[in-house]
Amino acid sequence: MKLLIDMGNSAIKWASLKQKRLSAQQAIPYQSDSLDNLLTQAWLKLDVPSQGIWVSNVAGAQKAEILSHWMKTHWELNPTFIKTSRYECGIKNAYDNPKQLGVDRWLALIGAHHLEKGPVCVVDCGTAITLDVLNGHHQGGIIMPGVTTMHNALLSNTQIQVNQTLQDRDKQAFLAQDTQTGISLGILYAVIGLLEYVIGHFEKQGYSLKLILTGGSVPALEPLLNRTYRYVPDLVLQGIKAVVSTTNG
């Protein structure tokens, strides 16, 4: 069994790979508990991934070190941390400096390339929202604050006070009659506007992009989407699978 791990900014996600079949994605958010305790609670009863461990990490060096130490202590194994490259799995990186492209974005592109044929727009709605276009090769991308990040930033930089969360808005409203719904709609419309602007630009050039969404904020956006899309919660893990399969067979 192989273990594939996606260490994001807000949560760690994983799945096992057995005989080229990927299990359902599991996830735990980073909370006040230490990462070591969270890993022990989640993984101590897992089968030892004797065929290897592959990791996408954008959570920083400290969390990577904790992860490596836990695996060495409990499984006597060292994980392989995947790096962004200039070319892999049939995709060429558009960045002048390929290493500047986050490995999660790179793997999401690889995953999308293996799941869908033709031009795609890949949008990851997490702590940050990233949008990348793949048309034969990576065309480049855009980064903006995520839905929850925008919500928290507005409240922390103004005197606006609300007791509700982003999910508590009036789902039927187009324009708001209360502050919380006004904030929520403004944020969600900003994201939808970005998608429409980028996809519309390519449509004017004669390209029809398939929209692929991933990330924890997708459910908040779904009611507002008027385009056909595919939601792939484990897109990064699908990319890791493609890399591992290409490298190890």
104 flagged as catalytic: yes
Is 95 part of any known ligand binding site? Answer: yes
Q: 102 among the known binding-site residues?
A: yes
Nearest Cα to Cα of residue 124 among 149, 94, 144: 144
The two tokens of residue 57 are 């990490």
The answer to whether 143 is a known ligand-binding residue is no
Ligand-binding annotation for 162, yes or no, is no
Of 152, 49, 143, which Cα lies nearest the Cα of 102? 143
**First CA to last CA across the chain, in angstroms?**
14
127 assigned binding-site residue: yes
6 is an annotated ligand-binding site residue = yes
CB atoms inside a 10 Å sphere around CB 49: 22
Is 247 among the annotated ligand-binding positions?
Answer: no
- Whether residue 169 is annotated as binding a ligand: the answer is no
Output the CA–CA distances (angstroms, integers) from residue 111 to 30, 46, 97, 115, in the order listed.
24, 25, 21, 6
Contact 16, 51 (CB under 8 A): no
Strand order in the sheet with 120-125: 137-145, 128-135, 120-125, 210-214, 229-231
Closest among 84, 133, 74, 76 to 104, alpha carbons compared: 84
Of 33, 36, 104, 170, which residue is the catalytic one? 104
Pair of tokens at residue 111: 């995953």
Question: Residue 137 CB: number of other CB atoms within 10 A?
Answer: 14
* Closest listed residue to residue 8, CA positions, set 115, 148, 114, 197: 148
Q: Is 9 annotated as a binding residue?
A: yes
Say if residue 86 carries a ligand binding annotation: no
Binding-site positions for K(+) read 124
Binding-site positions for ATP read 6-13, 127
Binding-site positions read 6-13, 95, 102-105, 124, 127, 179
Binding-site positions for substrate read 95, 102-105, 179
Residues assigned a catalytic role:
104
